[in-house]
Amino acid sequence: MIISKPFKTINMNKNTPLNNGMQPGLQTEVAIIGAGTSGLYSAFRLTDTGKYAGGQVQIFDMSERLGGRLESVILPGMNFWGELGGMRYLTSQEIVTTLIEGYPLTEKDPAKRTPVLNDHMTPIPFPMGNPADLLFYLRKEHFKQDAWNVAQQNGEKLVTRYYLNDDDIGFSSDQLFNKIIYDVLMADPWFARNYSDRVTKGPTEYDYGFKLTSEDWDEVKPNLVYHFPGSPYDGRKVNDLGFWNLIKDQVSEEGYQFVANAGGYYSNTINWNAAEAFPYMVGDFSADVTYKTIEEGYDSIAYALANQYMGIPGACIWSENKLLTFSKGHELRDTFRYELTFLNIPANQIWHVYANHIILGMPRKSLELLDQQNFFFNSNENTVLDRNIRSVIMEPAFKILMGFREPWWKKLGIDSGHSITDLPMRQCYYFGTDPENDNSMLLGSYGDMETETFWKALSDDTVLFKVSAAESASLVELKALEREQATQLMVNEIMAQLREVHQIEIPEPYVTYFRDWSDDPFGAGYHAWKAGVAVWDVMPYMRKPDADENIYVVGEAYSDQQGWVEGAFCEAEKMLKSHFHLTRPIWLSDSYYMGW
């Protein structure tokens, strides 16, 4: 992402005032826990619609910053943002796109759209690079990312070091995923009868197309049956199968290893719910879908929502305040249903807040870290809530940004996008170059699932990477980042892997920035539904787990766009519609489907 506009002129305000103090006895209508995207969106909607005044909606977060799993950072000496968490959006994701780009989205000229939020965010393409330059390094073999297509155009099949079934040789991993999904869909007579006009095969043996909408998928996912006589899974609902189980059954364990390795993310091919994996893997094939990001950093979407809410008198974001528990049997119970107990972290002091509604905008691990013995979680007796909280798999993820004094990857003709390997680093993204001094950023690792323990042993080491001088990077700025550095051992290992993948000399970085999202309170970078879960029931259940209580769970974890900000927004929007009776936002197109 090469940013043309100098950082200094950016007009996005990230100095949102946070209050890390306390006000014992504070009374409010709605207490929102979590200043991540789902919590901030809920606060924005509840106040922007005039439903509540600012003082009636209060946000609490244990962190000293807002944004949750969105965190954009500037590395010293570089004039553009790097992303430690979420980094891009799809233009098919209509809530996030509209909040960033204005409405209606049918108006192609952005200048003619009406903005929803006051802060200006600049949408820019998220470049995916040129497959003819980007690398694959699998089982110690180097390829360019277009190697499969080049071979196919020459009427050849690219042979790799994976012992694939004869029928599967020559397919790229994306093509093989599509083949598996097509074959399973069309093997079910019910699907073939009702939806065969929405999938295509050909013109070549490698081409498959899927034109199912999200609504179609919500019809297909609970109903699809696995029809493969002789298979251990014959006759079972695909929703009851793990994705790994299904892939192995279709293309052998070697085929599984191939798609898992070449796909870049182990999180896509863990043994999660196979029916949920299908639409996730084939992506959104509606017209004109592209990846974009925000020039001012992807966390701008969180700041813009927070600023909008903070513009309402009485609004407050209570940072560094950790929710411990909440109860009902308190003195003010005639006027406020709930007493919330917070730990104020700077003062290490307990204080109480009173509210009539509690919105928990947080993921699974954060929920599990709350008092599990209170009346709501009551984990010994409320086994349904307990089971539903555990219906998603927590997927570890970490990111390490590395600042180099030169864009060494340009020697290979690479300017953006990512390279993929089966080494534990898995992927690296080439993030951009500051044109004034050549300083360049690389997303050095994007480890998940299987690679976690490999890196954990290195990241637990005590010796941190030592920052060093670079052009335009003051030592004061660099020193301020000392605590955020990856360990020296980890950097050494990543450098060894980068050299093995790229096969050129690579200079040492001058700075790094490390974030492990499996640390508390997140417990995971993102989530995935377990096999056998009735997702269509659990999603609405989690939005209000107890019909008699005004307690709501929103966020990415229990959405059907897991791993995306849009999932967090859709859950919040549906919860606000059903339980706070908000009408659909005027800025959101009537036809946009938000799922179960």
What are the residues binding ligand FAD (CB under 6 A)?
33-39, 60-63, 68-70, 85-89, 322-323, 361-363, 366, 370, 397, 399, 517, 521-522, 525-526, 555-556, 563-565, 567-568
- Rounded-to-integer distance, Cα 363 and Cα 525, Å: 10
Which of 188/560 has CB closer to ligand FAD?
Answer: 560
Which of 358/531 has CB closer to ligand FAD?
Answer: 358
Which of 265/465 has CB closer to ligand FAD?
Answer: 265
Nearest distance from C-beta of residue 387 to ligand FAD, angstroms: 20
- Rounded-to-integer distance, Cα 361 and Cα 70, Å: 14
Nearest distance from C-beta of residue 418 to ligand FAD, angstroms: 12
Q: How many CB atoms are closer than 10 A to CB 424?
A: 17
Nearest distance from C-beta of residue 224 to ligand FAD, angstroms: 26
Nearest distance from C-beta of residue 241 to ligand FAD, angstroms: 25
Nearest distance from C-beta of residue 1 to ligand FAD, angstroms: 12
Q: Which two tokens stand for residue 379?
A: 């984990």
Nearest distance from C-beta of residue 365 to ligand FAD, angstroms: 8
Which of 68/242 has CB closer to ligand FAD?
Answer: 68
Q: How many CB atoms are closer than 10 A to CB 579?
A: 15
Distances (CA, A) of 97 to 122, 376, 468, 565: 11, 35, 39, 11
What string of DSSP letters covers 329-351?
-STTTTT-SEEEEEEETTTTEEE
Nearest distance from C-beta of residue 441 to ligand FAD, angstroms: 15
* Residues 36 and 70 sit within 8 Å (Cβ to Cβ): yes
Q: 300-310 and 37-48 are packed helices; what angle lies between their axes, rounded to 10 degrees?
A: 30
Nearest distance from C-beta of residue 385 to ligand FAD, angstroms: 17
- Rounded-to-integer distance, Cα 260 and Cα 281, Å: 12
3-class DSSP string for 454-493 = HHHHHHCCCCECCCCCECCECHHHHHHCHHHCCEHHHHHH
- At residue 227, φ and ψ (nearest 5 deg) are -105, 85
Cα dihedral: 109, 110, 111, 112 (round 10): 70
Which of 414/568 has CB closer to ligand FAD?
Answer: 568
Which of 69/405 has CB closer to ligand FAD?
Answer: 69
Residues counted in the chain:
596
* Residues 46 and 580 sit within 8 Å (Cβ to Cβ): yes
Numbers of helices and strands, H then E, in the chain: 17, 25
Which of 220/302 has CB closer to ligand FAD?
Answer: 302
Nearest distance from C-beta of residue 515 to ligand FAD, angstroms: 8
Which of 255/447 has CB closer to ligand FAD?
Answer: 447
Which of 63/268 has CB closer to ligand FAD?
Answer: 63
Which of 238/294 has CB closer to ligand FAD?
Answer: 294
Burial 90-128 (b: 16+ CB within 10 A, else e): bbbbbbbbbbbbbbebeeeeeeebebbbebebbbbebbe
Nearest distance from C-beta of residue 524 to ligand FAD, angstroms: 8
